Amino acid sequence: MDKFLIDGGRSLSGTVHTQSAKNSVLPLLAASVLTEKQVTVEEVPPIADALCMMQILRELGAKAEFCGGNVVIDSSDACSHELSSALTKELRSSVFMLGSLLTRFRRAVIAYPGGCDIGLRPIDLHLSALKRLGVKIEEREGFIFCKCDTLRGAEIALDFPSVGATENILLAAVKAEGKTLVHGAAKEPEIVDLQRFLNAMGAKVRGAGTDDIEIEGVKSLGGVCFRPIKDRIEAGTYLMACAICGGEIEVTGVSPENIRLLLHKLRENGCKIHAKNDKIRIYSSGRLKCNRRIETMPFPGFPTDLQAQATALNSGAEGGAVIAENLFETRYKYVPELRRMGADIEVKGRLAFVRGVKRLHGASLTAGDLRGGAALVLAALGAEGTSEVFDLSHIDRGYADLQGKLTALGARIKRIRV
């Protein structure tokens, strides 16, 4: 087991290049089994979730290997439609394999997916949508058994714009008979990226990024070499690190439109932001004002994956903030760790009431989930004294070389084996 040792109080400067988006890479890897031709996903970060998805592909009989920073997949020999419970319980995104496996084999067996412990995250929307496409589903003993003779296009209305359900529909409908219409679809940039990927393989999908998506089934899909979009959550994490620590950095690779609301909130904090094309420059004095209110919402609202980092930022700012988590019911498990650093936060249901303190202090901390762990690192960077952050396996799920990138910006952070 590793830990971070962080000496806080140092300002940041320099340029940080954003990795490919975790939340795009994972469904793209899942989509690779839709074809027997070679698929190359470029610039895949060696994060734990991507490695886990590659192992899932291998267990299905596909070949999935890194080659010069790219992942090359050959699923021509894939023959299994069953996913091992050991891997699916580690990776929430394994649920994307349902749509892909049903398209490829007309069968799928999957254990209930795992991932971070941030709430129930039921997959009812996924399953009801698949039923609309003609899939018969049986749930027993912790497994989901899916089968169909034929996938047929249908009109599907989502009660909530679920990213995962929208992506699973695309994967299941892309080779279905006829046309599928999705109403109330998720509009995240990663949905648009999946549409680009599928269309590059020969699919006929349009409307991604809007409420309504249309998928016209095709007979076959070909190979593709594809570069995913950059990670807006990673970019937002580094921008907030600079806001907390003070200094001036440039984050490259991410469209400012994909994190527009975050940039607005950072300006509220007192930061100066200059954004053009795929470069975002932030200047912070380190003396911040609290945001009055932040509410997580589906895109283009404030991302739930940046909520914990924003709470850490407001913990050391002047004034008070109300944080409303509208997507996941237990996403404040990191708050007791921030309190160990002197943060003044009260949680009531889905609301966190933050009263900013002059300075947080170093402490021994444990990461309980991916984004909560990132928030603890950010808080430690701005705190007075030295902090330890344990259980880095959560952080490794989404950030490649976090300590290396922060060190290059001037932070004092070391990864130590314990």
Q: How far is CA 25 from CA 154, 178, 395, in A?
A: 27, 28, 17
Indicate if 116 belongs to the active site.
Answer: yes
Give the residues across from 365 on adjacent strands: 389
Greatest alpha-carbon span in the chain: 63
Radius of gyration of the chain (CA): 21
Give the residues across from 16 on adjacent strands: 251
Helix, strand or coil for residue 23? helix
**If residue 280 lies in a helix (H) or strand (E), which one and from where to where?**
strand 279-284
**If residue 374 lies in a helix (H) or strand (E), which one and from where to where?**
helix 370-382
**If residue 146 lies in a helix (H) or strand (E), which one and from where to where?**
strand 143-147
Residues 398, 96, 107, 182, Cα dihedral to 10°: 180
Both tokens assigned to 409 = 């910006």
Sign of CA dihedral 264, 270, 276, 279: negative
Sign of CA dihedral 86, 90, 92, 97: negative
Q: Are 280 and 251 in contact (CB under 8 A)?
A: yes
- CA-CA distance, 15 to 123, in Å (whole number)? 39
Q: How far is CA 339 from CA 72, 193, 318, 361, in A?
A: 44, 38, 17, 10
- CA-CA distance, 193 to 16, in Å (whole number)? 22
Q: Are 300 and 329 in contact (CB under 8 A)?
A: no
Helix, strand or coil for residue 416? strand
390 alpha carbon, distance to own chain's centre: 21
Both tokens assigned to 227 = 């570069």
**If residue 72 lies in a helix (H) or strand (E), which one and from where to where?**
strand 70-74
Catalytic residue among 116, 146, 242, 271: 116
Sign of CA dihedral 397, 399, 400, 401: negative
Both tokens assigned to 85 = 């419970």
Q: Are 34 and 100 in contact (CB under 8 A)?
A: yes
Active site residues: 116
